[in-house]
A and B are shown apart, each in its own frame.
Chain A
Amino acid sequence: MSVKTEDEVVTPAVPRESRRTTTSAASRWATLLAFDKVGAVYVWLAIIVVFSIWVPETFPNLMTAKQILNSNAITGLAALSVTIPLAARVFDLSFALNMTLCGVAVAHFVVDGVPLVLAVLLGVLIGLVVGLINATVVVAMKIDSFIATLATGSLIQALITMVTNDTPISDAKLAGGFATIGQTTVGGITLPVFYFAVVAVGIWYLLEHTATGRRLYAVGFNPDAARLAGVKVARLQFLALVTSGVLAGSAGIVLASILGGGSPTAGTPYLLPGFAAVFLGATQLKNGRFNAGGTLIAVLLLGTGTTGLGLANAPQWSGALFVGIVLIAALMVTGLQRRTTLAARPAALDEPSHGDDATAPSKDVSA
């Protein structure tokens, strides 16, 4: 009976090294620009082309580009503030209300005559405290983060109403130094865009180039395995929520400065766009991992679309419609891709261990 030898059984195992020597720069670029990694960039470019043809007078110019950046910096900051907890698969649904709270608090302090720097520091401190409360409820009390941060969000809402009595805080004092935080422009680009860039780079570095970032992902994907591999799961989840509190609080202060006062509903509109951008971002670059670069691409894509629709005088509701469609399409396409990759997997490596195909994709939030 003719039977293959053991070596042939493992044919798919071509040593990586031997293949890499033949890999040219061209094919490296090909993987870098592959549709399944940066599909949103192509969609973004397509959108730019479409609007350039649709509204050639107002869309394709530098002013529009600046407008897109300026009007989406807060969405970007909001999205980044939940990127770290989501990487560890912890939800922070309270972030939008946290933004509002820190915004009205700082406005309140400034109106009361507290020096600007101190007022801002106190605002950030409030964000930190909110983060600590979230972390305590989720990690120490072991309540599911989705429902726990919904509950703390309700507590924050109570505080906001207590401080503002549901009326916006506005005062001449707010037009002074406080307004410069968010309204100063450099070459037509407002400061919040730079804040967004700095935070994005920071989170990118943390998630890609530190051990902590790698551990955050491990906690997100399989907390039991991470714990047994020596990762301090609870501590990372705790820190992720505290970071999110600080970042969301800071974003709220910037937002209040842009608005020139403390609105009791300022943060709420950022809840859905923030999460939309992070989840859309997770479909980009890193195959289902929440990441800063993907979030950046997503914010630009969504912002360009909504701004373009505005310039084209499309009806009010078209922006929300656009965000919804893009999100569903992106998640569907990446889900499909993952499934076909699994199906085309070489069967010689396809024997079940314990879970097999059925378990792998189901854990993935984005699929």
Chain B
Amino acid sequence: MRVPQVDLRSGTAPDAAPPPRHGPVLDVQHLSKTFPGTRALDDVSLEIAPGEVHALMGQNGSGKSTLIKLLAGYHSADPGAHAEMDGVPFEVGRSVPDGLRFVHQDLGLILELSAQDNLALHGGFARGRGGRVLWRQQEAETRRVLAAFDVDLDIHRPLAAATPVQRTVVAIAAALQGWDGGGVLVLDEPTAVLPHEEVERLFEVVAEVRRRGTSVLYVSHRMDEIFSLADRVTVLRGGRRVGTYDVGSLDSRSLASRMVGDDIDPDFRATVVEQVDQPVTIEARGIHGKWLRGVDLEARAGEILGIAGLAGAGALELPYVLAGKAGELARGEIRLPTVSPDWYDVQRAADLDIPIVPADRQTEAVVAEFTVGENISLSALRRLGSRGRLSAKDEATLVRSWSRRLGVVSTGPSAPISTLSGGNQQKVILARCLAVSPRVLVLCEPTAGVDIGTRVSIYQIIADLAADGLTVVVASSDEGDLLALCTRILVLRGGVVAEELEAEGLTKNVLIRAIEGAEQ
């Protein structure tokens, strides 16, 4: 269905680009993987056609990750699998054909080094006599490699200074170096680390990769991406292939139900009744910070207040300021009227004990070396036991009751947190916040990297808590979160509240237009 593109860049490929083939470029049959006690992948097959964008979807625990790791040679497969790349058989898990290249979720870049150095680490340095690096030649090569992706980047500056999407482009360019079309590029959740508004940019890069005649295996959680990007989608559930479909034949509901197994509503909206007669539980005034330029807000008991905005609008900074965890730049005042009439400077606001679910679970929330139980109890230690002594019994009770309430799936409180899926880790962090019985809870990107089933259950938990009188402030770059949860949404632009939207009857389009501002 797709016209293969002619490779325009060079005629140097030794085995000149094969004529349009009809067979799949990558063909994997009967792939299984058994771990002690678990069949992670059960007789899965995958065929990727030349030049297509093939999505691989599934919830956490569906086997996506295992499949990618098998292809990358990280795990060895169970016997019985058969795989071919361009018609040449290879042994999955033992060898990785040259035509199969990977960009993993962490991108595999060294952020302290420049784009040029990172590309050279993958593709080799241009070297002269005595091992001297030919910097001029190296620079020309770097520019040539990056030119195709139309990326505006200082190739000599450390990548730490680059935007996330620029880093992703560098990682893709690095993976594709020394390669003239054909083959398959595997992108493992490339948008998980990208701000929402940069996703479009990534799509252009993926389109460019396809223009070169390279197929893309695109692993993602996010359904909207699949619909705007992919030709076909293979859905995994519980380690098995549910099926492979033309994307055009699906809508988000039918795709979601194939992933989850029952009829789940991707447009879930929690039923939250707005409480106008309830007391105001949090007030903030004159909030300034790195991005914020004077924000006032108030929220009532039982209300779920959304904070929306593009990167740089301050939407993702605000939750940290409210929780008293912002940097030294932050100014402004906060008070909790139902607790005390006193205003607190935001630099002292940590004393108000407003818990926060941070945006980046791995670096800001989870203590990876701790158990599930220790992660849950961390904020509530003060209430367990007396006179400094930590009561193991009190702790176990607290952990058990919160794990049960939030439905944390694990082998028990003493399981290392790293054995949990992203969604379950997020529930653990939520439990940690709730264990201090807060009146106000602040969430930042509450469903980042969380699969759709768990996402809906997290929405439901938050809605239930609000119904019990908890005030929740949610900042998210995912409009879905805000639409599913909020009673009212503050839209920030340029560090100030630009619009206030009632959630009743609000559509995604209206919200996005408000976020992007009037000029769009």
Give residues of chain A (1-49) contacting chain B, Cβ–Cβ below 8 Å: 1, 3-6, 8-16, 19
With A229-B379, A352-B189 as contacts: A13 and B410 at CB distance below 8 Å:
yes
Flag if B449 contacts A354 (CB, 8 Å).
yes
Q: Select which of A5, A215, A225, A227 is within 8 A of B381 by beta carbon.
A: A215
Q: Within 8 Å CB of A354, what residues of B?
A: 105, 192-193, 360-363, 422, 448-449
Q: Within 8 Å CB of B238, what residues of A?
A: 3-6, 8-9
Flag if A347 contacts B365 (CB, 8 Å).
no
* CA distance in complex: A12, B36 (Å): 10
Answer yes or no: B5 CB below 8 A from chain A CBs. no
Answer yes or no: B325 CB below 8 A from chain A CBs. yes
Q: In angstroms, how far is the closest chain B Cβ from the Cβ of A356?
A: 7
Minimum CB distance partner of B40 in chain A: A347
Q: Within 8 Å CB of A360, what residues of B?
A: 368-369, 418
Q: Select which of B188, B325, B374, B421 is within 8 A of A228 by beta carbon.
A: B325
* CA distance in complex: A1, B237 (Å): 12
* CA distance in complex: A353, B189 (Å): 10
Answer yes or no: B270 CB below 8 A from chain A CBs. no
Give residues of chain B (258-275) contacting chain A, Cβ–Cβ below 8 Å: 260-262
Encode contact with B along A332-365: 1 for CB under 8 Å, 0 otherwise. Answer: 0000000000101111111111111011100110
- How many chain A residues have a CB neighbour from B under 8 Å? 56
Q: Within 8 Å CB of B419, what residues of A?
A: 345-346, 349
* CA distance in complex: A222, B418 (Å): 14
Q: Within 8 Å CB of B239, what residues of A?
A: 4, 9, 348
Minimum CB distance partner of B66 in chain A: A347
* CA distance in complex: A124, B449 (Å): 52
Which of the four size classes fits the interface of chain B?
A: 35 or more
With A348-B239, A353-B421 as contacts: A214 and B323 at CB distance below 8 Å:
no
Flag if B37 contacts A12 (CB, 8 Å).
yes
Q: In angstroms, how far is the closest chain B Cβ from the Cβ of A208?
A: 8
Q: Within 8 Å CB of A58, what residues of B?
A: none
Flag if B105 contacts A348 (CB, 8 Å).
no
Q: Within 8 Å CB of B231, what residues of A?
A: none
Flag if A344 contacts B35 (CB, 8 Å).
yes
Answer yes or no: B494 CB below 8 A from chain A CBs. no
Flag if B422 contacts A351 (CB, 8 Å).
yes
Answer yes or no: A182 CB below 8 A from chain B CBs. no
With A5-B261, A354-B192, A354-B449 as contacts: A225 and B363 at CB distance below 8 Å:
yes
Flag if A221 contacts B38 (CB, 8 Å).
no
Q: In angstroms, how far is the closest chain B Cβ from the Cβ of A17?
A: 8
With A12-B38, A16-B413, A358-B106 as contacts: A225 and B261 at CB distance below 8 Å:
no
Give residues of chain B (423-465) contacting chain A, Cβ–Cβ below 8 Å: 425, 432, 436, 448-449, 453
* CA distance in complex: A348, B409 (Å): 12
Flag if A225 contacts B418 (CB, 8 Å).
no
With A221-B369, A221-B370, A227-B325 as contacts: A355 and B242 at CB distance below 8 Å:
no
* CA distance in complex: A10, B454 (Å): 12
Flag if B243 contacts A1 (CB, 8 Å).
yes
Give residues of chain B (353-410) contacting chain A, Cβ–Cβ below 8 Å: 353, 355-356, 358, 360-370, 374, 377-379, 381-382, 384-385, 388-390, 409-410
Flag if A230 contacts B350 (CB, 8 Å).
yes
Residues of B within 8 A of A (CB): 33, 35-38, 40-41, 59-66, 75, 105-106, 188-189, 192-193, 237-240, 242-243, 260-262, 323, 325, 350, 353, 355-356, 358, 360-370, 374, 377-379, 381-382, 384-385, 388-390, 409-414, 418-422, 425, 432, 436, 448-449, 453
16 additional contacts (CB under 8 A) given A6-B261, A352-B188: A10-B409, A19-B412, A211-B381, A224-B363, A225-B364, A225-B366, A225-B367, A228-B325, A229-B355, A229-B365, A348-B38, A349-B61, A349-B419, A356-B105, A359-B368, A360-B418
Residues of A within 8 A of B (CB): 1, 3-6, 8-16, 19, 209-215, 217-218, 221-222, 224-231, 287-289, 342, 344-356, 358-360, 363-364
What are 30 contact pairs spanning A and B, CB under 8 A?
A6-B453, A10-B61, A11-B38, A12-B37, A12-B38, A13-B411, A15-B412, A19-B412, A210-B388, A211-B382, A211-B385, A213-B390, A221-B370, A222-B367, A225-B366, A230-B350, A230-B353, A288-B369, A289-B369, A342-B418, A344-B35, A347-B40, A349-B419, A351-B65, A352-B422, A353-B425, A358-B106, A359-B368, A360-B368, A360-B418
